[in-house]
Amino acid sequence: MTQQKAGLLGGAPPEEGPDPATHDPAVPHQQKDLADGRGAAARALDRAARHADAWAATWSKGRSLAAIGTVWALTRIVMVYLLVQDDIGVSNVSSEVVFLYPRWSQQLADGAFPVGDVTWQYPPGAGLLFLSPSLLPFLDYFAAFLVLTLVADAVVMVALARSGRRLAGAWLWTAGLPMLLNLPHGRFDIQVTALAVLALLAGRRRPRLGGALAAFGALIKVWPLLTLVGMERGRTTRDAWVSAAAAAAALLTVLALAFRHSFDFLQQQGARGVQIESLGGTVLSLMRASGMPIWVETRYGALEFSGEHVATVAQLSLMLTAAAFGWLMFWRGRASRWTEATPFDAALTAILLFTVTSRVISPQYMVWLLGLAAVCLTSRLTTQRPVAWVLLAATAVTAFAYPLHYLEVMQGTALGNTLMVARNGLLLTAAVLSCRRLWTATARDPDPTVPSTSESSPSLH
């Protein structure tokens, strides 16, 4: 009654209830269900797109891996053919595997390291490598050694391909090594490089394993120990170096008990002179070309210089090597930023420094540098990408120097000196560039031209 009176008196009309003909309480629920269905469909489509992208990426990487494997197989067939034929350049690349290594293997099988042999200049771990072809008794020594070297070569390629998403490292190793023609498989540096590569790749998450592998490599040729120089300070470094020391001590003990004269190599190694392919050798070769009384002699299984100023150059090389070691220690003390690539970059820098300051640079040293540069390229955070390109150029020039025109290098002709100046100039450039980029990325304010460390992974302990 009151509401009716209010309407009659001109007040607000009575509030009308919902029209039963148009209002359905179930409509909001239907709309919510429709929105949920559309959201579920969108999420399903998003998941399908992500799966499609992942499948496409996997397919693309699979094709890239197949391409790498194909190129590796084809190039290695050519490299082995060239080694077996051994008729390019100086035509004695295979002589060490054919004559020298079997002789050492026989002496080792008799329970002793070579004694009084000026060509034996390797730590005792190398003895196991020269004995390894006996694991394939159905093959002769040359064939067995070649098979095992190819296996080590393939291990490096696979390890690089499996490391991260980047295949640049695997490509560098696969396509770069053939530039050395028939040399790599006629030496045992691929095996040593394999240990160094595996040590670096393992060290990211398993520093103890990385340290042990580096120690095993160092007991064949000393340089793989330098792969530990860039380990992040703290527990990572302690674990790696303690493991390396323990592994080296254990293996040295076994070798000392199993073989006689395990440390006879030190006498030969310490007496090495200035080899004709070293940076110091290039200086001496240019001095010889100017008329100075300098000549080449065969000593300690290599071609070395004798004559005026040779001793001075040798002493200067040793001083530069000491200075390089001091710089590396100074860098470690000043480094304040580490990324996942820093151990890789530091290892390449260290080997470059010790290569360019050494009294000895053999052409197979390029195998080491290619392997370490390839490890650097497995990470997008590396600072050494330009260095890798310089090393590729140095590798190509090395093949022209040895084996193609080695007689020219020996005789110090204009062509021989030009090749040595070019190759060693590239190595020196790579070393300086490597040091600069490592220092800029880790020990000073970041250079905008190099990858930012802010993208680095968490602690690698």
- Give the per-residue SS3 of 339-352: CCCHHHHHHHHHHH
**The predicted structure's pLDDT at residue 449:** 53
Report the candidate in 126, 101, 107 with the shortest Cα–Cα distance to residue 260.
107
**The predicted structure's pLDDT at residue 222:** 93
Q: How far apart are alpha carbons 86 and 100 in whole angstroms?
A: 16
**The predicted structure's pLDDT at residue 97:** 95
Q: How far apart are alpha carbons 416 and 408 in whole angstroms?
A: 5
Q: How far apart are alpha carbons 362 and 126 in whole angstroms?
A: 17
Could you read off the pLDDT of 48-103 as tens digits, one per residue?
Answer: 555 554 455 555 677 889 999 999 999 999 999 999 999 998 878 999 999 999 99
Tokens representing residue 358 in the block: 């050494």
Could you read off the pLDDT of 143-175 as tens digits, one per residue?
Answer: 999 999 999 999 999 999 998 778 999 999 999
Residue 302 pairs with which residues in a beta bridge? 299
Q: How far apart are alpha carbons 34 and 286 in whole angstroms?
A: 85
The dihedrals phi and psi of 296, each to the nearest 5 degrees, come to -105, 135
Report the candidate in 114, 110, 136 with the shortest Cα–Cα distance to residue 124.
114
**The predicted structure's pLDDT at residue 13:** 47
Query: What kind and span of H or E run contains 353?
Result: helix 342-356
Number of helices (H) and strands (E) in the chain: give both, helices first.
Answer: 18, 2
The C-alpha angle with vertex 358 and arms to 355 and 359, in degrees rounded to 5, equals 140
SS3 263: coil
**The predicted structure's pLDDT at residue 10:** 43
**The predicted structure's pLDDT at residue 41:** 61
Amino acid at 76: R
Q: What are the angstrom distances between the C-alpha of 438 and each of 173, 187, 197, 350?
A: 22, 31, 19, 11
Contact between residue 149 and residue 191 where contact means Cβ atoms under 8 Å apart: yes
Rounding to the nearest 10 degrees, give the CA dihedral for residues 117, 121, 122, 128. Answer: -20
Give pLDDT < 70 ranges for the chain. 1-60, 267-271, 444-461
pTM of the model: 0.83
**The predicted structure's pLDDT at residue 204:** 84
- DSSP string for residues in 275-324: BTTSHHHHHHHHHHHTT-SEEEEEETTEEEEEETTHHHHHHHHHHHHHHH
